[in-house]
Structure 1
């Protein structure tokens, strides 16, 4: 930001710098108001773990949406509004109610989440931080905060684990990400950005080769021969041959799988896609699919394949 160490920047100055992608200033802003946000959460939720979760949720939303705050002078009020929404989310979870949008008053600027993160220049920090999470936390956070399938039920189905495990993983992931924001904000690893871009290029390329040029073998070589495949809620199976059967069956039926979004953090990749069915059999496959891929030495060793009754939502968070 360029201010002297002895000069305390205002909240508005920190917000302006954060909107421009300065993670250090965002960390300073959130640390400055953390105690007040936590106190406000306690008033709504009581002395429960949910109060701390609500603060961490607020931090993550600030990371993703600080660039959308139009009036820097109002940033503190915006943070408290976000916190209030997060507290209401926690109360609804207690009662098992349907959850609503988490982010207040976000302008519809026509940008998807990836473009907004680029606009705010915080994407590098976010993915660098995500790559430092333990693998189970990383994949759960990627799906919940950046994917299309965000409900606990959907996450549990995709990852084939209990809903209670989803909750505990998300709570731990939020805590670790918030700590990294406050402790190491501003330390950006450009290698994480480059790796994410390479993942996107690679997966769009091999799916395009499979769909347009019939490059079946090239696609399958990316997966280990002893691939651990989890399909929906079914029993896991071993062997790339099971994936090959899925591909051959869909190809013979005239079905194409078109990737819409590729998320990558470390060795965990999420590919969200939609099925294009032949006109004579429009219901052959459901509209959407999520593939969660776990890599080792650039080879996919484990794959969770989740079929969805709806296509991925690319323009929403």
Structure 2
């Protein structure tokens, strides 16, 4: 006989800690009202209070494993909301679009690498599937801000060629929509996000090798059709340029790029590179850059090369 007794907070917390995303969704839905009450008490009625609750939900997604007393998970969730609200009260402090995912910036230590940390988290596929539901512009700023080395609002604005205010607006919209999608899709099956990233990493390595040798393998050349366009700082004003032109120029100058990090969704790929310039080269390339690619059916439609601030 199936029990009609609702699961306790302790049961839901332990299931969520074991990787059951549906249990976490139920837990957040159960405590949504008291979480909102805490936000309202600190921020008053308005969008900031709702954003603080959404921030807290995303923080809980990452940190559910930190809960040591599953019976008291309600108090833990309210404390996270309180912290999120206090961060919003610091009006002069720049905060990331996804509170609690600020750790997701690459560094030399592999244990702190965003891709490694997400892979270690049982909910990673849930996050990436939810991000796939976002409009492309919102997903791009989210990927840059939280999963790449292009993290400041100024850098993201440059990468997207929009004002800083637009970046802030898109991040806020993306965060709000992502929190709602996470809750609505908690019980669904999710694609393997790590497989998508690994496929993109392999493609990047083969592409770099082919660009260095001047011959792209057919399976890679197929992904760079004639209509692919280089846009942004490296493109020629008033002229349409194919990315192959920039690859050829780098090869002729002796500039070499080495893949450092990959962030990938189904229609956006970000390849972060370390750059090695030959000795004595005039106008050397900056030491790091990123390829931001927009795709359709895997084929690259646009490539923007971004130079993060040093």
CA distance in 2, matches of 1:189, 1:164: 33
Q: Is the 8 A contact 1:82 1:102 kept in 2?
A: no
Partner of 2:30: 32
Deviations 1:37-75 (A, max 9, x none): 2222222222221221122122223333434x1525364
Partner of 1:57: 55
Deviations 1:296-317 (A, max 9, x none): 132211122210134xxxxxxx
TM-score by structure 2 length? 0.81
Deviations 1:117-158 (A, max 9, x none): 222221211111212222222222222222222222222111
3-state SS of 1:190 partner? coil
1:199 aligns to 2:200 (yes or no): yes
Partner of 2:303: 303
Q: CA deviation at 1:286?
A: 1.9
CA distance in 1, matches of 2:56, 2:192: 27
Partner of 1:79: 77
Q: Is the 8 A contact 1:293 1:303 kept in 2?
A: yes
Q: CA deviation at 1:27?
A: 0.8
Partner of 2:289: 289
In structure 2, the gaps of 5 or more residues are: 104-108
Give the aligned length.
301
Q: CA deviation at 1:248?
A: 2.9
Q: CA deviation at 1:196?
A: 4.0
Partner of 1:154: 155
Partner of 2:260: 260
Q: CA deviation at 1:249?
A: 3.1
Q: CA deviation at 1:185?
A: 0.4
Deviations 1:270-297 (A, max 9, x none): 2222222335559822232222211113
Matches within 5 A, 1:175-186: 175-186=176-187
Shift of the 135–298 alpha-carbon distance from structure 1 to 2, 3 Å rule, reads same
Q: CA deviation at 1:7?
A: 3.3
Shift of the 201–17 alpha-carbon distance from structure 1 to 2, 3 Å rule, reads farther
CA distance in 2, matches of 1:271, 1:63: 26
3-state SS of 1:304 partner? strand
Q: Is the 8 A contact 2:132 2:265 kept in 1?
A: yes
CA distance in 1, matches of 2:8, 2:51: 27
3-state SS of 1:225 partner? coil
Q: Is the 8 A contact 1:259 1:272 kept in 2?
A: yes
Q: Is the 8 A contact 2:272 2:288 kept in 1?
A: yes
Higher relative contact order (CA 8 A, sep 6+): 1
CA distance in 2, matches of 1:235, 1:179: 41
CA distance in 2, matches of 1:28, 1:180: 14
Partner of 1:189: 190
Q: RMSD between aligned alpha carbons?
A: 3.3
3-state SS of 2:227 partner? strand
Q: Is the 8 A contact 1:230 1:236 kept in 2?
A: no
Deviations 1:176-207 (A, max 9, x none): 22222222203123366544432232223322
Q: Is the 8 A contact 1:226 1:240 kept in 2?
A: no
